[in-house]
Structures are given as C-alpha cells and as structure tokens.
Amino acid sequence: MIKTKLRTKSAQLIFKAALDKGLKVKVISNRFNLMELFFHGKSIFVKGTSFPINSQPACFIANNKFLTKKILRSHNIPIPKSWLVRTPAEARNLILKKKLFPCVLKPIKGAHGNKVYANIESLKEFEELLPFVFTRPGPEDVLVEEFVHGKDYRFLVVGDKVSAVIQRMPARIIGDGKRNIRQLIKAFNQNPLVGKKYEKPMCRIKINGEIKRNLKKQNKKLTYIPAKGQKIILRQNANISTGGISLDVTDKINGSLNQTAVKAAGAIGMKIAGVDIIYNASSQKHWVLELNDCPGIDIHHHPVFGKSRDVAGDIIAFLLQN
C-alpha cells in the first residue's frame, strides 16, 4: 500500500483505491481523514468512508437508531420490536408492562457497541444496567428492544448491490486447560493480528463490566480455567471494535438477505452503507438492526478468516459512475 498518514486503515484503503483508478488525490487533513478526489473535471471531499453521494438527511437518519427503525418499518423491512424511552422510570414501566425478556438496552446514537447491553434476561439485570445507559442528568433517548437470536452479519452496500458480507462473532477465548480467562484474554491481545485501534484485523478485548456480566451469566469468573478446547463467549455484541472475529461469507449468503440489505439502505436514501442484519437459520427469519453511514471497510479487505474483498475499489468505481 502507498504510504499515507491518514489515521484509519479504511481511509487508507479509499486513498489507495482512488490512486489505483487513476484519480488525483489530495489529502487535506491526516488527522481528520479528509481527502479531495479529482475526476471528470470536478472534485469531491471524502472523510474516511463518509461520501457526499450519501445525503445529509440520510446520514442523520442512519445515526439515529430510532428514526432508522421507524423508516424501515414503514417500508415493511423486518426489524426487532423496539420502544423509545427517555428516563429510567419510563424504561422500567415499559419492561414491566411488556415483560420483554430477553431484551436490549441501547442509546439511539453511538457506534462500536458503546453502551449497548444485549440479552438482558431479568428485571434485576435490567435495573443494574440502567445507570450505564442513562449516564447524564435529565432525559436521554434510549431504545428498549427485543433481543433476537441468530448470526450477526455486516453487509457493505454500494449502489444497488452488496459488495461484501462478513459474519461477526463475539469476542471469545479458547481454553488450553492451563490458563484462566484473564490470562487467555491477555494472550489474545498479544496476537500479532490484534491492533490498538483499527489498524489490524482484530481489536483488543478489554476486561470491563460487560465481560464480567456475561461471565456471570455462565457462572464463571476471570479466574476460571477453561478445559482444553472449551470456548467461552465474552460479550453479547459482535462488534469487531470490542474483540469480535470476522469471517467473510460473501459467497454463502442467500439472495433474500442481500435484497433486504439493499432495500434497507435505499429506504433511508443511502447509496453506500454498512447494514447490520441478524439471521436465524432455524426460523429462517432475519432482522435489520441498524445502518452505518461511515462503515469500516478494512474488515472486508482483511477478515480474520475467509477471502479478502476489494470493497474500496467497488466504492471508487461507483463514485466514478455517478
């Protein structure tokens, strides 16, 4: 790759793909991942993987999980049932009324799984997590959502096609019969494929309250020594940023899921988007969780397992056509 000081791997991939297509590229700011691309006698600004072909209202909607779900529902796109609450009391009253266990608590804005708590199975657990979602004085916009079971997929939509799909698997460790969970996490973080942020295919697993919550569900502590080959799932969310593992499944996904991903992006006016879908093979049902207007594309170029996909090249080719 041609060297550049752009801060993220995804921005570097766009930079390289633009040069490979013969475009002139001017880096405006390395710190802010801002580039100017010149082609067809015009220029456009690109910030990382945020592109002007996506309108400002579409990006606004994608960054609001409540509005995204409202619009997807109006287009008959399957989504988990969800409710907007503003205070802990509202959340508590709703959960008592709906008896919605297992459920999910998450803010309507945010990324990388921050403050997202999934598979909450009891009122006690729900009450314990409320302070971690409602973190400021006064009302906040929070979603209470049904928890849907299945495989977690990220679709990269470019125009009216799916460029690539990865399956995201939650952070986990595999026992060797000797080391405890804390020691196995440390060993995972020392893997050469693990980076401090997003410069490598995997991210560090940070020991925090969420990991302890999930170990508690399994009646385990950080001092537990898993048997050789025993798999311990550490988190409920499968975000790569929290230690998740990526597997390219582009060639294995059925057409209906691709159609849903493209339809979901189009419903809110997105031309280039990351679309997160949960698919349950047993029931053959699927649900769109959310959309991302600035998707990380390095996960498709460098999956932990499977084939590399040149999504940056697909994006630049699409921009040149439009």
Q: Give mean pLDDT, residues 62-86.
A: 96
What's the pLDDT tens digit per position in 110-121?
777 788 999 999
| Amino acid type, 95 | I
Q: CATH number of the domain that 97 lies in? A: 3.30.1490.20
85 lies in the same domain as 143: yes
The tally of domains found in the chain comes to 2
With a threshold of 0.85, does the pTM exceed it? yes
Contacts of 322 (CB under 8 A, 6+ apart): 53, 271
Q: Which domain holds residue 187?
A: 174-235
| Chosen domain end from 207, 235, 263 | 235
Question: What pLDDT was estimated at residue 110?
Answer: 79
Question: What pLDDT was estimated at residue 265?
Answer: 98
Question: What pLDDT was estimated at residue 16?
Answer: 96
Residue 151: which of 282, 272, 296, 259 has the closest Cα?
282
Question: What pLDDT was estimated at residue 138?
Answer: 84
Tell me the pLDDT of the chain averaged across its residues: 94
Give 200's pLDDT tier (boundaries 50, 70, 90).
confident
Q: Give mean pLDDT, residues 131-146.
A: 92
Phi-psi group of 15: left, alpha or beta (phi > 0 → left; psi -120 to 50 → alpha; rest → beta): alpha
The backbone torsions φ and ψ at residue 275, rounded to the nearest 5 degrees and listed phi first, read -120, 125
In a domain, 133, yes or no: yes
